[in-house]
């Protein structure tokens, strides 16, 4: 019993010592400062722009929406974004700067203009990372210089499409009756509405193992998610292209509808494609379209 009491007392003393050290350390940590803050209820619009893009946030009764965007918006991402850009954490380090180019503020990464219901306007510019890489430079419309935390800087840098819901589309595997691939290598996967898949290439048809087709091809399209979304431009296409000519993949579905993908590139990790010739280029994990480059006859 004495031994138990001694052990318990030792544990209590140790825990007390740890608590005291943690409390002392927390007291020594400086509180995060606010460089700039805005009352969300007073902000009417936020114009976000850089040298390549511009979009506008509209405050509709406390709910933020991107003007002119019909895509589903990720509410959690918007909430985090608004928290950071309306409460920018950092500190002011200089007034009336005369050398904005030294901080990347002559060509800012992003410029935000806040329009208020009372007619006022305020703006900020996001510059380069500091030499330590732990903060960003920022200026306001009074030409004051700040350093702000990377959490705020990373949110300020976001594009409109970073808030789109990352689900691209969903094709239930049991609704697929045919997959047609057009490009340098052309072939078809066809089940004619049954559970038996036939792989046809160069005029020769081979019956495949149904479960292997499901595991390696069709189940991947049951829920497709993007890792990133880009505007479909010739510049971006040339950047990600691995095929000289894009590969077109057409899904014929049981209800008579079709879903078409244009695949511009596949690497070991990623694939890049559009859906139904839409205006966005999606980056996703390569497993969605790996089967394009495979010899599917191995799945008999």
Average pLDDT over residues 13-34: 53
User: How far is CA 11 from its chain centroid?
Assistant: 47
Has residue 20 got a pLDDT over 70? Answer: no
**pLDDT for 128-142, tens place per residue?**
999 988 899 999 999
What's the CA gap between 92 and 78, in Å, rounded? 26
pTM score, two decimals? Answer: 0.68
Residue 248, number of CB atoms within 10 A of its CB: 16
CA distance 74 to 71: 10
Percent of the chain with pLDDT over 70: 88
How distant, in Å, are the alpha carbons of 106, 178, 251, 253, 259 from that of 256?
A: 55, 11, 10, 6, 10
- Which pLDDT value is given to residue 29? 38
Cβ 97 vs Cβ 139: under 8 Å: yes
CA–CA dist 21, 74 (Å, integer)? 41
State pLDDT tens for residues 68-124.
887 788 888 999 999 999 999 999 999 989 999 999 999 999 999 999 999 999 999
Average pLDDT score over residue span 190-209: 89
Q: In a 10 Å sphere around its CB, with 0-12 CB exposed, 13-18 middle and 19+ buried, how is residue 157 labelled?
A: middle
Contact 66, 177 (CB under 8 A): no
The answer to whether the CB of 181 falls within 8 A of the CB of 238 is: no
Structure tokens at 186: 């052309």
**End-to-end alpha carbon distance in the chain:** 71
The two three-digit tokens of residue 202, written as one number: 């160069």
* DSSP 8-state secondary structure symbol assigned to residue 287: G
Tell me if residue 76 falls in helix, strand or coil: helix
Alpha-carbon distance 264 to 232, whole Å? 11
pLDDT of residue 209: 87
Give 72's contacts (C-beta < 8 A, 6+ positions apart): 164, 165, 167
Instruction: Determine the pLDDT at residue 30.
Output: 41
Q: What is the DSSP string of 90-129?
A: EEEEESS-S-GGGGT-SS-SEEEEEEETTS-EEEEEEEEE
Mean pLDDT of 154-180: 92
pLDDT band at 13 (very low <50, low <70, confident <90, very high): low
Tell me the per-residue pLDDT of 33-79, one tens digit each, with 9 for 90 and over: 888 999 999 999 999 999 888 999 999 988 999 998 877 888 889 99
Q: What is the mean pLDDT of the chain?
A: 88
* pLDDT the model gives residue 293: 87
């Amino acid at each position: 019993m004495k031994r138990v009491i001694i052990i318990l007392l030792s544990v209590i003393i140790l825990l007390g010592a740890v608590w005291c050290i943690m409390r002392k350390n927390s007291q020594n940590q400086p509180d995060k400062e606010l460089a700039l803050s805005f009352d969300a209820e007073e902000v009417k619009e936020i114009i976000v722009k850089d040298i390549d893009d511009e979009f506008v946030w509209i405050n509709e009764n406390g709910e933020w929406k991107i003007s002119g965007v019909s895509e589903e918006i990720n509410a959690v991402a918007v909430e985090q974004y608004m928290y950071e850009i309306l409460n920018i954490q950092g500190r002011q380090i200089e007034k009336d700067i005369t050398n904005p180019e030294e901080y990347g503020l002559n060509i800012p990464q992003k410029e935000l203009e806040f329009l208020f219901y009372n007619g006022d306007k305020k703006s900020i510019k996001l510059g380069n990372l500091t030499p330590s890489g732990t903060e960003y430079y920022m200026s306001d419309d009074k030409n004051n210089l700040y350093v702000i935390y990377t959490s705020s800087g990373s949110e300020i840098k976001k594009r409109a499409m970073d808030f789109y819901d990352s689900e691209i589309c969903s094709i239930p595997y049991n609704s697929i009756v045919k997959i047609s691939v057009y490009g340098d290598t052309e072939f078809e996967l066809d089940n004619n509405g049954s559970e038996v898949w036939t792989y046809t290439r160069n005029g020769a048809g081979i019956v495949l193992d149904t479960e292997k087709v499901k595991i390696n091809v069709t189940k991947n399209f049951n829920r497709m998610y993007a890792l990133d979304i880009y505007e479909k431009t010739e510049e971006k296409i040339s950047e990600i292209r691995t095929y000289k000519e894009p590969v077109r993949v057409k899904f014929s579905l049981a209800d008579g509808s079709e879903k078409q993908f244009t695949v511009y590139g596949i690497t070991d990790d990623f694939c890049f494609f559009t859906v139904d010739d839409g205006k966005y280029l999606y980056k996703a994990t390569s497993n969605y379209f790996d089967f394009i480059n495979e010899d599917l006859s191995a799945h008999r």
